[in-house]
Structure 1
Amino acid sequence: MIQKAFRNYISNFQGFSREVWILTLVTFINRAGTMVLPFLSKYLHEDLHFSLSQVGTIMVFFGIGSMLGSWLGGKLSDTIGFYKIMIFSLLVSGLMFFGLRFVTSFYGLCISMFLIMTVSDMFRPAMFVSLGAYAKPENRTRALTLVRLAINLGFAAGPALGGLIIMNIGYKGLFWVDGLTCIIAILIFWIKVKEKKKSTYLDKEHPGDVLVESVFKDKIYWLFLASTLIVGIMFFQLFTTIPIYHREQFGLTELQTGLLLTLNGVLVFFLEMPIVNYIEKNKKDKLKVIILGCFLMTISLFLMLVNTWAGILLIMMLFMTFAEMFNFPFSNAFALSRAPKHHQGRYMAIFAMSYSLAHILSAKIGMTIIDKYGYQTNWLVMGTLGFIGTLIGIYVYNLVEKEKLNVKNS
């Protein structure tokens, strides 16, 4: 029985090209080293003693840099190619992380975060475009899921290890590890993967790949991005307000917070690929799955209103994790499927920018609400936002169904 279950699990990972596997390894190494992000708000608040409002402002610059980097990465991927962008982004951002440990002033951190994230987040849309080039259409959602698994496995190792580093060496050690892993990851990619000028898979022979000629005219895509933005705002509470809430409300240590995040990563690693494979094989509607994910994430934020029992943090994390598994891989796939030929970079840039904007809004709105009205109000606002995002998702589904009907009748 166990052997059969193991074989079934392994079968979910078959059929990928060598380049996809190397990209997955590179992503894992990079994300395992990204220990700064889960503890960034705690580092700024508890180690450098900035107010919550100042932390929110620094995270705004973090998000603005992320948005600019995402746009530049997508734009340049369509012009000079994703390969060069990926190498430049991780190599330079790795070197910049080395220097970040020496910056401790408020304005210095605002500028530094902006510059680092501008360079660092050029990687994301380029990486999405690379999957369009190296993965066949029938494997694309699973390839996106595989890379997400690497991200989550990295996050599973990163926060727990990061918590140990903080307790033994201090926050400064995180910046050295983050910079070093960025450089190691991209050197492996550069040595092992050769540049591919364009994808042979993204063309008009594949239905659903080409719907409109410009991303700015794609109404469905922009409504989808609105729902994606709301999901991002809710999800990034995990890395902004929630770690601080853990200590202030329940007295959790950095290691305990890291272990909760590790639970998220481990569950995603073992369950997401089988879930995606099941949904793909049974041809379940991807937008319905995306909507379900948004709804589950809404519930997870409403659960935070229970503030007298620490066990609710575990239940909340379970809801958040399943929401993530249903929403994120299929959102990535849907975004890529809407992109016309030679516009993949632009589409994925704007998709990545929606998460960057979510970073800005999640940190600033969350910190400001907590500063003025308390944690309970923040969870209520976030849950209400999630309910609105779910309704937008249902509207997008109806529009897509009408679009399919129009194409069929034309």
Structure 2
Amino acid sequence: MPHLKVADALGVLTICLVSALFLFGLFCILYLIYFRNQIRTEGNIQLHYFSGPWIIRITYILFAILWGFGEILRLSLLRCGGRLLNALSWKWQETICKCHIVSNLGFMEPCLFLTVVFLLHASLQRSGTLNRKWNGKTACYILLFCLPVFFLQLIIILFGPKFNKDGYKHRLPDYFTSVAASPKTKGDNDDAIALCAYPLLSTICIGVFAVIVTSYLSWIGRRIVHLIINKGLQKRVYTLIISFSGFFPLRFVFLGLSVLSAPGEVVFEILAFLGFLSFLCCAGVGICTLVYFPVADALALRNLQKDTEARRISDDHNDSVSLITNQSHVGASIVNSPGRNSGASTRPGSISFRTVEKDGTSGTYVELSLFSPSQHSTPPDSPRFLGWPMLSHS
């Protein structure tokens, strides 16, 4: 059927994007662990600030990966046509849909958003992230602030369907609390298929949370931008704020509009995929901005520090050689000065060059004395110095 082909195509694309997110997140985790080991091994105290929130960064990546796997579980691709989840009963398929709503909309997405807020807030602190207790306290704060949304989603999923019964005076429509529905166009084996839907109450709940936290995130972002001088870092912060302030609420707009069509239809599948793609952009930008780029910059700074130290050592060596050369020139000038005794211009272990005029000839000789100061203390009538003749340039 055409609508199933569209759902299958979007499902395959969703699995491919989640796989790419998983591989990129795994690479960033290994990159972060490598960076931390390098810092601890080499003892670079100046770079400890960049590796301070490493646990929270890894936690952010794990939240993103688990969120991606949760999005795979709600796909119609795994249910229709006698596929993997179609072997389960309606009750179990509905339970999987409930777990998807509670885990992703009630836990993973709020935790991801709060992690970004705390990491940005940590950049405003001078030494807070250097404290070993910072990671533990931040993890506790993230879970604490996420609990209200989690319990509210749990209440909507567990107790919301009871308000749809005919006995209540103000009966809510099904799309306010329904987490699963059967496809409208059924085949021979589609009687026990439960396609996941997004309850409107759950979408409104997480949407209100997103608006509140987005306002606070924008305020922190403005403070950071005013403190940053580097234009490249300013662009990163702007990209992060725009992605979470724009794409994150946009996800819940798409999920809210999905109640206008039934699960399994083309419109619903497209809206659900656009909502998935919006949050995937947020998660990917967050991993790049908060994990990959800071680690890459810190490693580049470490390499620059190594080059600077090597250049300083080379300059010190050249200065020492220049000093020795200058001392030898000074010694040579003292030796060649008239009325000076050559023995007073030499020291044990020195190398000196001397020009001596030979009586009756114009030849010039250069004396090479190695570790022999007695050779320089010769009287005027002593035999000629040993050496090699200097050729005249004339």
- Same structural fold, with TM-score higher than 0.5 when normalized by the shorter chain: no
| TM-score when normalising by structure 1 | 0.31
Decide which structure has greater strand share. 2
- Larger Rg computed on CA atoms: 2
Decide which structure has greater helix share. 1
